[in-house]
Amino acid sequence: MRADARANRQELIEAGRRAIAERGTAFSLRTVAQDAGVGIATLYRHFPTRDDLVLGVVDEAWARIDEVVDRHEAEWADDPASAWRSTIQEVAALEIGALAEQIAPFAASETVTAAATLRQLGRETRLAPVLERARAADLLSPDVDAASLVVAIASLSRPLPEHITTILPDHRAWLVDTFVRGLAVDRASNTDA
């Protein structure tokens, strides 16, 4: 793909993400194209249907999660607890919760469900090594699977009202740290008396 085409596609995904966050999946494709600074024909060249654009936005969100996972890959050998906490904190900072909430009703369509199921299987496979490292370091209970973890992080990552972030700027970090500590294996309750 040419550099300009790749840039246009990225602009369309960003404009699509903003449109979904603001209006759900009932957004105007023409408005998305305008916001991206391209013509409607360019939008349709990259995303022939609304479903394709929404899936492109979802794929981009997963790509950002992959970048976070990759960024902390080397840390696992030296400090698994720090790598785990940093990974979860950064994924929560992506605020995928707002996107997930808006896309949920749309995800029930047959077209999207089939495509999303295949994509989800790939993502769970991608996250499996991270979860295994966390389990090996007793940072994650064995009963937590990738899907449950992603849904929990999405719940934690919903944007807080601006006045709350002004009053409590570190609230999300505290909430995510509390969540991460709660995921760890509790050795005290697992010992036989």
φ/ψ of residue 158, rounded to 5 = -60, 135
Q: For the segment 119-151, what is each residue's pLDDT rounded down to a tens digit?
A: 555 566 678 889 999 999 999 999 998 888 888
More confident residue, 96 or 85: 85
Please give the Cα distance from 171 to 164 (Å, whole number).
8
Residue 26 identity (one-letter amino acid): A
Q: Say whether pLDDT at 110 is over 70.
A: no
Entry pTM: 0.78
Count of CB atoms situated within 10 Å of the CB of 109 = 15
Domains of the chain with CATH codes: 1-48 (1.10.10), 49-185 (1.10.357.10)
CB 56 within 8 A of CB 47: yes
